[in-house]
Amino acid sequence: MEWELLASLSDDDRRALLTACRRQRFPRKGFVFHEGDPGDSLHLIASGSAAVRVTNPMGEVATLDVLGPGQSFGEQALVDPDARRSATVVALEKLETLRLAGKDFEELCRRHPQAHRALTALLEARLRATSHALMDALYLSADKRVVRQLHRLAGIYGPGDEVVVPLTQDDLASMAGTTRQTVNKVLRAAEDAGLVVLTRGRITVTDAEGLARRAR
């Protein structure tokens, strides 16, 4: 497995960082951590997928993002040793991560100063993603945001002739920043066009290329 955030490191620094990690496994629907927990570690996803969720002021749970192999979460632990988790992360399927404790990262950087590049790359990637999400929210219609989110999710769970995305329409609505009614309308239109098949609690993408064209 390759992680983009490690691309800027030398082979020696990359090996040292990965050696400092501890492999962890979580069952489907298992919690990696909860919102408000101490932020003591970064997780690199080796296999499976995870949902990032928060509880809004009305007590409702919203899905902010879904992450897959090659991605990471929990980077705030490497920036602030007193950080608290700003969201809950739960495994959507069997999940395997490489866990890097904040204290181990500090020790690693003393021996390998260039390891700080990984954190810089991660923060830059997070800033780019936030900027893109803001631009989408400002300038794209809700319908287009739904399709683009579904296309991105199909990339996480694909490839294949039929890609099953194990998320509900409520999950997709919160990720796209719209209502469930809008998501249902968009998905019904996509189903009529032969792009997806809708079943309870999941969406099956049957025409990834057609979905990609609609997402442009």
Residue 156's pLDDT is 92
Would you say how long the chain is, in residues?
A: 216
- pTM, rounded to two decimals: 0.90
What is the distance between the alpha carbons of residues 57 and 170, in angstroms, rounded to a whole number? 17
Q: Both tokens of residue 132? A: 């893109």
pLDDT in tens, 25-75: 999 999 999 999 999 999 999 999 999 999 988 888 999 999 999 999 998
For tokens 């181990």, name the residue.
104
Q: Both tokens of residue 216? A: 């442009």
DSSP per-residue string spanning 12-44: HHHHHHHHH-EEEEE-TT-EEE-TTSB--EEEE
pLDDT in tens, 81-122: 888 999 999 999 999 999 999 999 999 999 998 888 888 888
What is the distance between the alpha carbons of residues 213 and 154, in angstroms, rounded to a whole number? 13
What is the distance between the alpha carbons of residues 136 and 130, in angstroms, rounded to a whole number? 10
